[in-house]
């Protein structure tokens, strides 16, 4: 019994990590007052560019790529391409002041097409499949941390994951600190809550919004790369992101825009996502897919009933800021 629970938790962590990346990217974006519904799209862009980056580097290195370099390339490329998607969004909403929801949805459609097109295109040119070398694949496998991983139960539970899991947690903790303690974080929160006030206080609202949105998109891109490199084992699979981005958006609400809480919620969502493999109930599998969204709706109902001012979406989300508006 214990071993099944352990397996479930480990699987939940692995499934929850891309969600955590997506959610962290979206939290950063929303803290600047932009609701970017393009998370799904940016994750697709990150997914395909990360694997393609590692793949082309492998080809250039004559089939014998250095693992660490391949990892770095995948990380940087997926971040940049995710950020590029967010940059399109940022330009449209911040500079041209287009509707945020419409732009975000469009970015999702664009990103999905971008990912699937380039994924299949590269696969076709490569002779059928887009796949990285075994050496690179190994870099994304779990690492048994020497010593610690030998501790019974805790070792399996905490010290046997691939590096991206730890990286995601670090990003979350750093972001939580950033919002709570740092000066720039305080300024960013002010921009998201009330851009006119931030502007009057001498904060460059446009720059803050651009940087937060673009970096947020980059983090979403890394989440996409996790899916292609870890979840799919370094093989490009058509439609691989399918819904993870939307789950991440739901996760942001569930976590009430709190990065530390997002770690726990990602675990819960990860568990719900893989539940059907471990707990077989006589219900259609679609009910399992629904579970995270139902939980999110319940959380939305509860939080809106509580009307907390602090555990809520930044107030200016959805509206674009124009200084000389009257």
Partner 1 sequence: MEQYAIEMKGITKTFGKVIANHDVNLQLRKGEILALLGENGSGKTTLMNMLSGIYFPDHGSIKVNGTEVSIQSPKDAFDHGIGMIHQHFKLVDVLTAAENIVLGLKGGITIDRKSTNKKVKELGDKYGFDVDPAKKIYNMAVSEKQTVEILKVLYRGAEILILDEPTAVLTPQEVDKLFAVLRNMKEDGKSIIIITHKLHEVLSISDRVAILRKGEYIGTIETATANQSTLTEMMVGHAISLEIKHPEVEQGPEMLRVHDLTCLNSEKVKALDGVNFSAFGGEVLGIAGIAGSGQKELCEAIAGLYPITGGTVLFRQKKDGVEVMENIGGQDAQNIHKKGVSYVPMAFVPEDRLGMGLVASMDMVDNVMLRSYKDNKGFFVDRKPPKELSEKLIKDLEIVTPGVSTPVRRLSGGNVQKVLLGREISFGPDVLVVSYPVRGLDINSSYKIYDLLNEQKKKGVAVIFVGEDLDVLLEISDRILVMCGGKVSGIVNAKETTKEELGLYMIKVGGGKEEIA
Applying CB under 8 A, the residues found at the interface with partner 1 are 181-184, 186-187, 189-190, 193-194, 196-204, 307, 309-310, 315, 323-324, 326
What is d(CA 110, CA 39) in angstroms, rounded to the nearest whole number?
11
Burial of 154 (0-12, 13-18, 19+ CB in 10 A): exposed
Q: Closest approach of Cβ 253 to partner 1, in Å?
A: 17
CB atoms within 10 A of CB 20: 31
Interacting residues of 218 by C-beta distance below 8 A, sequence separation 6+: 25, 79, 80, 82, 83, 86
Task: Identify which of residues 134 and 324 has a Cβ nearer to partner 1 in the complex.
Answer: 324
Q: Closest approach of Cβ 196 to partner 1, in Å?
A: 6
Q: Closest approach of Cβ 199 to partner 1, in Å?
A: 6
Task: Identify which of residues 197 and 242 has a Cβ nearer to partner 1 in the complex.
Answer: 197
Residues 108, 38 contacting (CB under 8 angstroms): yes
Q: Closest approach of Cβ 266 to partner 1, in Å?
A: 24
Task: Identify which of residues 124 and 207 has a Cβ nearer to partner 1 in the complex.
Answer: 207
Burial of 152 (0-12, 13-18, 19+ CB in 10 A): exposed
Q: Closest approach of Cβ 315 to partner 1, in Å?
A: 7
Q: Closest approach of Cβ 322 to partner 1, in Å?
A: 12
Task: Identify which of residues 134 and 307 has a Cβ nearer to partner 1 in the complex.
Answer: 307
DSSP string, 22-79: HHHHHHHHHHTT---TTHHHHHHHHHHHHHHHHHHHHHHTTT---HHHHHHHHHHHHH
Task: Identify which of residues 27 and 84 has a Cβ nearer to partner 1 in the complex.
Answer: 27
Nearest by Cα to 239 from 43, 23, 73, 15 = 43
Interacting residues of 274 by C-beta distance below 8 A, sequence separation 6+: 8, 11, 12, 15
Q: Closest approach of Cβ 324 to partner 1, in Å?
A: 6
Task: Identify which of residues 181 and 280 has a Cβ nearer to partner 1 in the complex.
Answer: 181
Task: Identify which of residues 110 and 179 has a Cβ nearer to partner 1 in the complex.
Answer: 179
């Amino acid at each position: 019994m214990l071993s099944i629970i352990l397996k479930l938790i480990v699987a939940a962590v692995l499934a929850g990590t891309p969600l955590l990346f997506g959610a962290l990217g979206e939290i950063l974006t929303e803290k600047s007052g932009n609701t970017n519904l393009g998370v799904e799209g940016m994750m697709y862009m990150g997914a395909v560019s990360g694997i393609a980056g590692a793949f082309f580097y492998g080809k250039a290195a004559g089939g014998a790529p250095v693992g660490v370099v391949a990892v770095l390339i995948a990380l940087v490329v997926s971040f940049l391409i995710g950020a590029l998607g967010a940059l399109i969004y940022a330009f449209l909403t911040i500079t041209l002041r287009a509707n945020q929801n419409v732009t975000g949805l469009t970015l999702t459609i664009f990103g999905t097409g971008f990912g699937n097109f380039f994924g299949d295109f590269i696969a076709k040119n490569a002779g059928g499949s887009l796949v990285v070398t075994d050496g690179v694949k190994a870099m994304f496998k779990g690492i048994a941390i020497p010593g610690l991983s030998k501790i019974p139960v805790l070792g399996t539970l905490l010290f046997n994951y691939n590096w991206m899991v730890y990286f995601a947690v670090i990003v979350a903790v750093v972001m939580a600190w950033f919002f709570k303690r740092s000066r720039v974080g305080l300024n960013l929160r002010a921009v998201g809550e009330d851009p006119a006030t931030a502007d009057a206080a001498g904060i460059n609202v446009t720059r803050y919004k651009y940087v937060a949105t673009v970096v947020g998109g980059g983090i979403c891109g890394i989440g996409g790369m996790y899916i292609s490199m870890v979840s799919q084992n370094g093989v490009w699979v058509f439609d691989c992101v399918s819904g993870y981005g939307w789950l991440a958006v739901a996760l942001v609400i569930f976590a009430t825009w709190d990065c530390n809480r997002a770690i726990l919620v990602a675990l819960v969502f990860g568990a719900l996502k893989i539940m059907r493999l471990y707990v077989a109930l006589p219900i259609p599998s679609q009910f399992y897919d629904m579970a995270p969204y139902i939980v999110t709706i319940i959380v939305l109902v509860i939080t809106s009933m509580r009307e907390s001012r602090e555990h809520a979406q930044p107030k200016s989300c959805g509206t674009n800021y124009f200084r000389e508006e009257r």
